[in-house]
Chain A
Amino acid sequence: MLTELVLVALAFQLTAAEIVIELGGSTTVVEARYEIGESSGSVVFNIMRFPGQELHLLVSDRSDTVESDTLSGLYRLTVAPAVTSSTTAVIRYEVSGQLSRIPLAVPDVPAEPGAGGVRISLRGFSARAALAGGFPRFELRDDSTAVAELDNVPGFVRLPPDQGQWSVNRISEIVVVLLVVFASSYWLLRQRRRHTQSHSEGQR
């Protein structure tokens, strides 16, 4: 359920975003700071709603005007800053329930193309977990922190599946290898058959 939101910011291009996700046993806390090129009246953030999951916005000392709208697939927040010249937005929220995917607040302003200014840090999970099956693609920084650096803010973070589990990723890579092997074998066999045919016709 949405209770309150803290943030300020606004406008036309997202120049940087620093998102920190603290994983806990039954809850996960997300703190996201967005730098937006210039200030304007208000900005809209969309936060995806996942089934079996609850989201609580955490209070801070900033007195921005926040309007929230709960739709079937997302929470929509319209934020008007208390300080109109501010270009920074900070959003903190707690996620509980089903935690395989952690939703992120995506601002309704596009990111600067090619800037690579979006940085997501994932803290507190088992560092040995296979990173390959997660989304977006993370790199390990130390035993308990993984980092992803992107050009755009993703809608959510999908935590890597347990080690040893057959992920769709792994299956898809096997399918690719099998396809290549099958196609090459078929091609070789066909060429060989043609060669044999033309050879026997030549002998006749």
Chain B
Amino acid sequence: MGLTLAVVLVVYFGIILGISIWSAFHTRTEVDFIAAGRTIGPIVGGAVLAATQISAGTVVGTLGRHYLTGVSWWWIWLGVWSGWLVSAFFVAPKLRRFGALTVPDYIAARFGSEKARALAATLIVISYSIYLVAQFQASGEIAFAILGMQPLTAMLILVASTAFYTLLGGVRSSSYIEFLQTLIMVSGLVIAVPILLSHAGGIGHSLSFLRSLDSRLLGWYYGPKELAAFGISFGLSIAAAPYELTRFYSMRSERTVKQAIAVSIGFQLIIGLAVLSIGLLTRVLFPNLASADQASSIMAFEVLPPLVGALLIVAMLSAIMSTVNSVLLVTGASVAHDLYGRFLRPDASQRHLVAVNRASILVLALIPIYFALQKFGDVQSIVVEQTKFIASFFFVPIVIGLNWKRGTAAGAIAAMLGGFLACLVWEFTGQRGFAVHGIDAVEVGVATSLVLFVVVSRYTKPVPEKNLEIFFGTGDKRE
């Protein structure tokens, strides 16, 4: 296994290096760096959206959750796909027509407020840094389980390799690399299922064992109320997730964006079913693992044949790298484009902005490592917490803001701040009483955000018509 894994990793990183260098030669302007020159088509675009969606939270966290709790967690996907559909019909086409570079660009243009832009950029940097903590923690878990490597070393290697291709080629290299990573993830996960099934002795026997081990594994480990809360949390955050939305800007047209979302849901369906099967079958093979987060790496290293195991390990790495990469791109752009380029050096040249973007990516990649080493929770829990915050402060200004003309800058700022604070307060106080209240922090956050958006907008000055034209009228297409 060791030699096979080494060869597969060398080939994998060799291809990534090649794509990065090729992309670097085609990256000259900020539009090239942040939006790949708006050249991405539906297949590559769909794979990119799937790769950003499928993270360590999926291949380590979700797989571990299925291992521990069984089938019911799968219903969360319905929330995820609802979020994608909302995005496809109510968000993506308008954002792509607008043709900006970042989500704070949209906030600033739609509401005519640079303050709202600054707030959005700051919240993006904070919330996605938390997301990076989960990704780094997962990389540490995998490296420790498979190679016995210290988590810090693994995290530094991950940061170095991901930052390298992100810095070199921006979204262009990321898009082609993520296309490759999605194919690897799908192949690795799908091929693993029949092997595990063959070891376990077939479907009927496996189900019978799982039912006897814990009847909730094949039934309702989580109740409908909990699943709805988790599903809503994922759905709301995906409909308005800046690191997904930014990718729409790199695609050729509005039509391409819709097609890419459909392709992405197809990839996610395959990956979701494979992860469910692997989680359950791992429980049959190893009924009592010390940590559910270990399920994927143990499966890859101790059960699968060397080549397939190596492919699955690369698939896990790919999932983490692609998400880290997307997050770094969006946080780097928030710092360089939305904060530095707008408030500190508005006269900065394109070359200067790209350089600041690259420096920001490097710094923002290193900070979450400290927090990942503290292990505040399991990977999936950190991902869930982060999605709640994203949904609480972005869903309303983005989804409602794109579809309700009367929303104002003051309303958007109140919605973002109020949603964020309400989610935070409920999470650390009222959330403990989730079982009593039956209301999750994300529901409180989004509801607060919505009420504030509507009420404050009603009593403040409307946004000038010229700002709304591109989103609600037949405005010019900025390509």
Bound form: Cα–Cα A114–B187 in Å: 28
Q: How far is the CB of A90 from chain B (nearest CB, A)?
A: 19
Question: Looking across the interface, which residue of chain A has its beta carbon closest to that of B188?
Answer: A176
- Contact (Cβ within 8 A) B205 A137: no
Contact with B along A76-89 (1 / 0, CB 8 A): 10000000000000
Bound form: Cα–Cα A167–B199 in Å: 10
A56 part of interface (Cβ distance < 8 Å):
no
* A50-B201, A177-B307 known; A113 vs B298 contact (CB < 8 Å): no
A124 part of interface (Cβ distance < 8 Å):
no
- Contact (Cβ within 8 A) B288 A110: yes
A142 part of interface (Cβ distance < 8 Å):
no
* A106-B288, A168-B198 known; A176 vs B187 contact (CB < 8 Å): yes
Bound form: Cα–Cα A140–B366 in Å: 44
**Contacting chain B: which of A21-29, A145-153, A194-202?**
A145-153
Bound form: Cα–Cα A151–B297 in Å: 12
Q: How many residues of A contact B (CB 8 A)?
A: 43
B305 part of interface (Cβ distance < 8 Å):
yes
Residues of B within 8 A of A73 (CB): 205, 208-213
* A48-B209, A74-B209, A168-B195 known; A153 vs B288 contact (CB < 8 Å): yes
A1 part of interface (Cβ distance < 8 Å):
no
Segment 167-212 of B: residues with Cβ below 8 Å from A: 183, 187, 191, 194-195, 198-199, 201, 205, 208-212
- B285 is contacted by which of A151, A154, A168, A175 (Cβ under 8 Å)? A154
A179 part of interface (Cβ distance < 8 Å):
yes
Contact with A along B278-290 (1 / 0, CB 8 A): 0000001111111
Residues of A within 8 A of B194 (CB): 168, 172
Residues of A within 8 A of B213 (CB): 46, 73-74
Segment 137-170 of A: residues with Cβ below 8 Å from B: 137, 150-156, 158, 167-170
Residues of B within 8 A of A110 (CB): 288-291
Residues of B within 8 A of A107 (CB): 288
Contact with A along B302-317 (1 / 0, CB 8 A): 1111111001000000
Residues of B within 8 A of A156 (CB): 285
- Contact (Cβ within 8 A) B209 A113: no
Residues of A within 8 A of B145 (CB): 114
B interface residues (Cβ-Cβ under 8 A, vs A): 1, 144-145, 148, 183, 187, 191, 194-195, 198-199, 201, 205, 208-213, 284-291, 294, 298, 302-308, 311
Q: Which 10 A-B pairs have the closest CB atoms?
A: A73-B212, A73-B209, A71-B212, A73-B208, A110-B290, A168-B198, A169-B305, A135-B199, A113-B290, A173-B307
Beyond known contacts A71-B212, A173-B308: 20 more, CB 8 A cutoff: A46-B213, A46-B287, A48-B209, A49-B208, A72-B211, A73-B210, A106-B287, A112-B290, A113-B291, A114-B144, A114-B148, A137-B302, A152-B290, A153-B286, A155-B286, A167-B198, A169-B195, A169-B308, A172-B304, A173-B306
